[in-house]
Amino acid sequence: MKSTYSTTELAQMLEVNESTIKRWTDSGYLECIKTKGGHRRFPIRAVLKFVHENRMSVPAIEKELLIDRELRAQVVAGDIRSLVPEFKAAMAAGNTSDVLRILRLGVAAKPDLLTVYHELVFPPLAAIGASWARGETTVDIEHLASQSIREALARLQSELYHKPANGKTALLACHEHEQHDLPLRCVNQYLTSEGWRTLFLGPQTPTDSLVFSINRNRPDLVVMTSIVIEDERRFIHDVNHEIVPALRKLGGRLAIGGPGVARRFTGVLKADFLSESILEYARIGDARLMEAVRA
Ligand code: B12
């Protein structure tokens, strides 16, 4: 499914003339955005809304969405939480193409990527983790889910709108024993779409390698995940005595995200941001704010 349609494509899909589409747009029935060259582009969300409001039946869209009418109405209204059960089932089955399809739908319904991660991507992961902890799900399901979401996020990347480069660099890494890199991948994708240059070191990054990379790449921001900390003393030592001093020398900042990090580590870790929700990256990843802090 595409995220926007041209006038020609939409006319074909709705089986009307292009002039009808233009008329609907000019009279405000159908929302569109204009490209720099003045061409109309129709975001899928606007198309869904129009189709829904006018009770139209469009087989081409219905085939792509594969969801029932009620669900479609909720998605049109921007309620992507209604997609969670279907998303979870696709993840648990390792069905990457379905995971990608629903992810696209989420992005079409809610152009704010952080909300898509927060409301659509994380809840099924948390639910799968909880049923694994209760002994109701085997670890292979967790692996399939992780793999399908990782692949779907990678495939989505080229379809996302990217703001022009903002001249900032972010380095993203998990601490030495940390394997949970999915939230970090989401932050990576978000920052890239905001115009950051990102360098993704991924799971289990040795601290000396991270420090080496900081010195070599001089990032404006380092983002780390802390979900499972096997050796808390070591983690605190590495952050406060290795990572933060290396970054400070270059004027960079450190953000650490994960469940309960602010509660556990405020006043303990010398990071600039301790975030318990990915939504906080709207502020942390705002390059203008970062500039203002530096000035
Ligand atoms: C997928 C998964 C794995 C995958 C990781 C794949 C990958 N590449 O990421 C694999 C299979 C490798 C794995 C391994 C393990 N896992 Co695991 N895993 C998970 C699972 C299901 C999802 C992880 C995830 O992406 N969470 C992200 C979201 C879903 O978490 P969330 O808390 O809702 O996030 C909110 C906030 O906390 C915050 N947030 C969380 N992280 C971050 C990070 C950033 C940067 C930001 C900004 C915000 C943020 O944002 C969200 C809200 O907006 C979780 C379940 C869970 N609840 O997280 C278990 C879970 C984290 N795993 C767990 C465990 C125990 C393990 C293992 C130790 C199991 C084992 N015995 O081998 C190992 C090894 C871990 C290690 N050393 O790193 C436990 C941790 C319990 C604990 N706190 O100690 C969990 C919670 C499962 C459970 N219910 O018991 N795991």
Q: What is the pLDDT of residues 190-236, one digit of tens each?
A: 999 999 999 999 999 999 999 999 999 999 999 999 899 889 999 99
| Cα–Cα distance measured from residue 48 to residue 284, given in angstroms and rounded to the nearest whole number | 32
How far does the centroid of ligand 1 lie from the alpha carbon of residue 131, in Å? Answer: 13
Top mutation candidate among 114, 119, 180, 188 for ligand 1, by most atoms within 8 Å of CB: 180
Q: What is the mean pLDDT of residues 60-86?
A: 71
Residue identified by tokens 């400070």 is 248
User: Would you say the CB of residue 227 lies under 6 angstroms from ligand 1?
Assistant: yes
The third-level CATH classification (topology) of the domain covering 169-294 is Rossmann fold (3.40.50)
Residue whose CA lies nearest to ligand 1 atom number 7: 180
Name the CATH architecture for the domain at 79-161. Answer: Orthogonal Bundle (1.10)
Q: Which atom of ligand 1 is nearest to the CA of 230?
A: 77
- CATH 3.40.50.280 in the chain is located at 169-294
The CA–CA distances, whole Å, from 61 to 22, 23, 33, 126, 132 equal: 20, 22, 20, 31, 36
Torsion angle in degrees (nearest 10) through CA of 26, 27, 32, 38: 10
The ligand 1 atom nearest the CA atom of 182:
9
CATH 1.10.1660.10 in the chain: give the residue spans: 1-65
Q: What is the DSSP code (8-state) at residue 149?
A: H
Q: 112 or 125, which is more confident?
A: 125
CA–centroid distance, 180 to ligand 1, in Å, is: 6
Query: CA 171, CA 191: separation in Å to the nearest integer?
Result: 10
**Nearest alpha carbon to residue 240 among 257, 258, 220, 256:** 256
Whether the per-residue pLDDT at 282 is higher than 90: the answer is: yes
Q: Does domain 1-65 have CATH number 2.40.50.100?
A: no
Which among 186, 198, 122, 189 has a CA at the least distance from the CA of 161? 189
Q: Is the CB of 202 under 6 A from ligand 1?
A: no
- Asked if residues 57 and 25 have their Cβ atoms less than 8 Å apart, the reply is no
Query: What is the maximal distance between C-alpha atoms in the chain?
Result: 67
More confident residue, 54 or 187: 187
For residue 28, what pLDDT is reported? 83
Where are the domain boundaries for CATH 1.10.1240.10 in the chain?
A: 79-161
Nearest residue CA, atom 40 of ligand 1? Answer: 258
pLDDT at 71 over 70: no
Ligand 1 in contact with 292 (CB < 6 A)?
A: no
Residue 102: exposed, middle, or buried by beta-carbon count in 10 A (0-12, 13-18, 19+)?
buried
